[in-house]
Every structure is written in C-alpha cells, then in structure tokens.
Structure 1
Amino acid sequence: MSLKPILHTTAAAAFGLLLSACTPTDPFSETSEALASGVLLPAYSHWAEANQRMAASGKAFCSDSQSLDDARQAFIEAQLAWAELQPLLVGPMGEGNRAWQVQFWPDKKNLVGRQVTALLKNKPDLTRADLENASVVVQGLSAYEYILYDQAVDLSDTSTKSRYCPLLQAIGEHQQQLGADILQAWQSKDGMLAQLSNFPNERYAESAEAIADVLRVQVTALDGLKKKLGAPLGRQTKGYPQPFQAEAWRSDATLDSLDAAIAGAQQLWQGQPDKGLKHLVPDDQAELASRIEAAYATTRQHLAGLDQPFSVLLADEAGRQQLDTLYRNIDTLHRLHQNELAKALGVQIGFNAHDGD
C-alpha cells in the first residue's frame, strides 16, 4: 500500500494548522462573540424567565392560590431582571417602543395611576386584547407595581381584587410574550446572537461596529442611571427632592434596581469569562482599565453600604448626602466610559436620548 495519500493528507493538515496559528485573531470579533454568548443572551434568558414567573404568579394570586407577598416578590424579580438588562439593550429590545412597554418612567404626572383607573372604568371586563390596544403606560411593570403596591388599591378587599386582577394577569401575559419574542429574535437564524458573532452581516459590516454599538448602549444606560437618581434628588428642581420620580418608588426597589443596572454594565466591562470591553483596552492604557475597575468597585460598595430604603434616605439631609455621593460615583463611571474608554477603543459616542437632562 502506498504511503503517498497518507503523507499528503498529513502534510495538508499540518499546513492548515500552521496557517491558523499564523492568522491573527480579531480581538473585537472575539470580544463581541464572547459578550453575546456569555453576557447578553444569558441576561435576556433570565429576563424572559422572570417574566414567565411573574405571569404565573399573577394568575396564582388572582385565583387565591398565592399570597400578596409572593406576588410582590415575583414582581421584584422581574423588575430587577429588567433593570439588569437596561445597559444591554442592543438590538430589537432597544428599537421601537419596546422598552416603554416594559417600564414607563419617569411618571411625573401619575399617568400610570390615572390611566389604570381610566382603563378599568372604560373596560370593566378587560381582556388581553384590550391591553394590547391600550397605551404603553399600562402595559408594563409600572402599572403592575401600581396594582400590587399603591395605597389606592386595597387588594385585601375582594371586590377590589376582582376589579384589578384581569389587568394584572393581562400585563403578566404581555410581559411574558414580549420576553419570549425578544429571546426568539436573539436565538433565531441570523438573529442578534449570530449578528454579534459572525461578520459581516446585515446589521454590522465589521466587528468594530458591533463593539461600538455595545459601548454606546452601555454609555446611554449609565447616563440614564444618573437621571434616575438625579431626578428624585432634585438636581433638575433646584434641590427640591421629588420622591415620586424615583424608579420603582411604590415598591421601594429603587436602590436594588440601580445596583442591578450597574451590575449589568459591569458584566459588559468584565465579560464572561473575562472577555468583555476590558479585554480590548490597549496594554499601554492599563491605568485606564484600573480606574474603571476601581469606579465599579467603589459604586457597588457604596450601594451595598446604604442600609436604609431609598425613600428614607431621600427624606433626610444626611441620607441625601449619601445619595449624592452615589450620584457622583455613577457620574464618574459614565464619564470614564463615554470619554476615555470610547477614545481607547476608537468609538464615536455621539448624542444619546439623555443628552441635555
């Protein structure tokens, strides 16, 4: 038997390995793919699962097989999953009005309470279709929170519970469907997971565009967190606190929501495992990476050290000083990403939805 075919095959394989070893890897493509599979997709899956649990909880509560405390806990889990997702709104969830369907904020004129009341007055036998045709103000977590927590809604009263339960269940189903649809858009052929992993594609001509998109979303979210903290602190109202402009004020999940959102942004920076935006910082700018690391650690530690609810801190001068320190910490994080990290990665940030606030 001749050894030539075997030798040719072996040589070809060795040559192929040599070529692959010599071919430089694209760190932007590598990082984009790692973030898509290790951070972004798991966060969307977690959010969709939390929505599913909240929908099941709403049905159980309304059938008297679950307590109000348990229903509230399911809401909190969905709220925090959504908060963590906010710095990760790359792709379909960041387009159109989908984010408004999840949470209406800021609610400066109590539109949530007024529109929930008006909707149930006009649709006493409300159906899922009625909710789908209604305003985004009543389709999401803000309205769900209103029903479960607002003092105007006494769910211990049987008639009140029966009046609000159709809406509670419809919101849960709407959120469950939205989460499932977005997750499907991520996992489908040529969906977001594929678009962040293989280049070029219809969304990104090259991997650098994908990384730029991820960083812009992260920067916009960090800027938005400053507004979510600054608005109730009164930074836009000459120092007069505005407690009803806090995110999730009825459930007092404000601080936990801030922490979850910062954790989401930190995941983009760190990566999973260790292949985040940090991986792209040039070696000669290691000092910048250290400052960003320290800024995340300082912010998370300060949040962990706040041992009173947001509403209590906001009502007290010493508490407001602690919240103002937190604001400055988030501002530092935002500026490090918007200015220095963007420059280091060659990304033009441009304007965002929060500019001018």
Structure 2
Amino acid sequence: MRPLTKAVGIAALILVPIAGMAANQTETNRNATQQWHQGILAGYQSLAAEAGDLSVAAVDYCSAPEQAARETLEQAWLDTFLAWQRVRYVDFGPVENDNLAWQFQFWPDPKNLIARKASYLLNSEDPISGEVIAESGVAVQGFPMLEYLLYDEPLNASDNALPAEKTCGLLRAVAGHIETNSQQLRDQWQTFRKDYLATEQYRDTTIRAGMAALEILEDRRLAQPMGLRGNGKRSVYAADAWRSGRSLKTMEATIHGLEQSFLPGLTQLLKESEQPQLGPRIENQFKDVLEHFPELHRPMTELLSNDDAFSLLQGFYVDVSQLTTLINDQAAVELGVIRGFNSSDGD
C-alpha cells in the first residue's frame, strides 16, 4: 500500500500548484473585467451628460439663433461626438441592441445617404418629430446628421440653412434622439454588470473589441483616406467627420478612450502572463501615438493635399500600425485570444 500512498501524495503536490494557478488566473480575469466595466461605464456616463448638454444647446440655438448660441451648439456637438468616439470601440453588450452603434454614427456613407435623407425630410411637407426620426433609419439618427446640418457647405448656402424652421426641427429631434439613446446605453450598461462580470467569454470579447477598433482605425479611418488601400488615391470623403474637418480629433479621442478604459484591464492580464513586459511596451506606444497631437488637429483635406502635412499623417499611421501589431499580434496571442468576425467589416 505504501507505493499507492506515495503516488497519491505526489499527485496532491502536483494538483495544489495547478489549482493555485487556476485560482490566480480567475482572480486576474475578474480584476480585469471589473476595470473594463467601470472604465466603459465612465465613458457612457460622460456620453449621456454631454448628450444632455447638446440637446439643450440645440433648443437654445433654435429659440435664439445668435452667433454665440451657434458656437455653443457646435462645441456641444463636438464634445458629445468625441465622448462617443472614446467608447466607440465597445461593439458588444447593450450597444448591440437596436443597432445603437449605427444610430450614433452611420459610417461609412459611400452613397451619401445622410445628405439624401436630410434633403427628403427637409423638403417633405410632413412635420419632423422624434417619432419620425425614430422611424427614419440610422442614416438620420446620429452625429453625422447633425454634422451635416451644421457644416455641409451646399446646405448652408441654401434656403434650408440653419436656423430655418424645418432644419431646426430636424436638429432638435436628432439631438433629442441621441440624448435618449445615450441615457439608455448608460443605464443598460449598469444593468449589464452582473452578466458581464459573471460570463468568462467577455474577457476575450472585450479584447477583440479593442483589436477590431485598432484595425478599423488603421485600415479604414486612416489608410483608406490616405490612399494606402483600395484604388490608391487620397480621398477626404473616405474619412469620418470630413465635413467638419474633425477626422483627426475623432481618432485622437478613440485612442484616448482605448488608453483610458481598455488598456488598464489589458495590462492587468499581461502582468500575470509569460510576457509581462508587453504591458509597459503597449503603454509607451499609446504615448507615442498621442504625441502626434495637437499638431495633427487639422482638417483631413489639408493633411491629404499638402505633402509636408501628409508626412505628419504618415508618421501617425506608422505609430498606429505599431500599436495595432503590439496588441493584435502579440498581446492577444499571449492571452490566447483569436480574432473573431467583426460585424462592422461589412463582409
């Protein structure tokens, strides 16, 4: 019996470290998801607060359309849009309900549906209301529609330019729709906490969301306008927020959002991995990417048309590419995360 007893003892000694490692991994995953949930919640709370200010600014401007009110409205639109950019990477959970992400930002828009939808609504004899906006589709319901009303040059040279009564009706209704959706998203994310923290797969889902956001930023928001993808021609119309000239501001906000609410959980996981040095390397690469600002706070048109300015954009692209490689090809592999299908790919 002694050999059997000895074998059982050895097995017990082996199992204790394995059980301890599993417990440590579970605790690490729990800490990471708690950080992610809290960071994303803070982002959604900021979005809801800014959206409330935007809705008020739209009403105030249409009531008294003076220059100061117009400037307040434009700043409120930008502040709220950038708040959205900081949480734009979250492509799972409540934001999937009712195509909320698309309601906030219909992009890309290669067929210029936003302009066509606006023209239809503004030239229709039917009044514009919140109910009409809710039924009009995602091209009408979000930040790009407000950007169109504020910054589209042909519109602003027409009889429908703000503060025309019908256009103000559309402005107020869309701003109100964004406010409602922002509050809903904030509240639903809070309710989602229990399932998010209790479901192991959300660890990988969150990492994939960060990965997808970086791929979209590199390939579609940067490379495509720069002519590095597709037909090889530079085109401002491939960028988001091109009408307002804020394409680079939105990219900066996305990077800031990833740094603030995604990176802490990722580095928490990497600390306990076999490559703990990856965490500091990624943190430093985020800093390298953001060091390109504020010099890149310029309209995309200027950056694409001037070779000296374009070189600045190229440097930013290289640093974004390096960040994408560190997270998608190294950190994700180290953590055993395989890139999944991204619904925003459109294929």
Q: TM-score, normalised by structure 2?
A: 0.85
> Matched residues in 2 for 1:155 and 1:55: separation?
24
Aligned-partner SS, 2:317? helix
Give 1:87-236 correspondences, 5 Å limit.
87-154=89-156, 161-187=164-190, 191-197=191-197, 199=198, 204=199, 206=200, 209-226=201-218, 227-236=220-229
Question: Stretches of 4+ moved more than 4 A in 1?
Answer: 155-160, 354-357
Tell me the equivalent position of 1:315: 305
Aligned-partner SS, 1:28? helix
> Matched residues in 2 for 1:341 and 1:159: separation?
49
Is 2:144–2:241's contact at 8 Å kept on the other side of the alignment? yes
Could you report, residue by residue, the CA deviation over 1:18-38 in whole angstroms, capped at 9, with x for unpaired residues? xxxxx857110121112212x
Is 2:35–2:261's contact at 8 Å kept on the other side of the alignment? no
C-alpha distance 267-92 of structure 1, shift in aligned 2 (>3 A): same
Tell me the equivalent position of 1:280: 269
C-alpha distance 150-65 of structure 1, shift in aligned 2 (>3 A): closer
User: Which amino acid in 2 is paired with 1:55?
Assistant: S
Tell me the equivalent position of 1:300: 290
User: Which amino acid in 1 is paired with 2:166?
Assistant: R
> Matched residues in 1 for 2:160 and 2:108: separation?
31
Is 1:50–1:77's contact at 8 Å kept on the other side of the alignment? yes
Unmatched segments (≥5 aa) in structure 2 = 1-22
Tell me the equivalent position of 1:265: 258
Tell me the equivalent position of 1:44: 44
Aligned-partner SS, 1:145? helix
> Matched residues in 1 for 2:327 and 2:302: separation?
31
Could you report, residue by residue, the CA deviation over 1:76-98 in whole angstroms, capped at 9, with x for unpaired residues? 01110011111234311145521
Is 2:245–2:298's contact at 8 Å kept on the other side of the alignment? no
The alpha-carbon deviation at position 61 of structure 1 amounts to: 0.7
> Matched residues in 2 for 1:339 and 1:171: separation?
40
Is 2:51–2:182's contact at 8 Å kept on the other side of the alignment? yes
Is 1:148–1:155's contact at 8 Å kept on the other side of the alignment? no
Moved more, 312-321 or 344-353: 344-353
> Matched residues in 2 for 1:71 and 1:355: separation?
33
Give 1:217-256 correspondences, 5 Å limit.
217-226=209-218, 227-256=220-249
Could you report, residue by residue, the CA deviation over 1:23-55 in whole angstroms, capped at 9, with x for unpaired residues? 857110121112212x11100100111111111
> Matched residues in 1 for 2:160 and 2:110: separation?
31
> Matched residues in 1 for 2:262 and 2:142: separation?
29
Residue-pair matches, total: 319
The alpha-carbon deviation at position 278 of structure 1 amounts to: 0.1
* Identity rate, percent: 29
Unmatched segments (≥5 aa) in structure 1 = 1-22
* Pairwise CA RMSD: 2.3
User: Which amino acid in 1 is paired with 2:116?
Assistant: R
> Matched residues in 1 for 2:97 and 2:324: separation?
22
Q: TM-score, normalised by structure 1?
A: 0.83
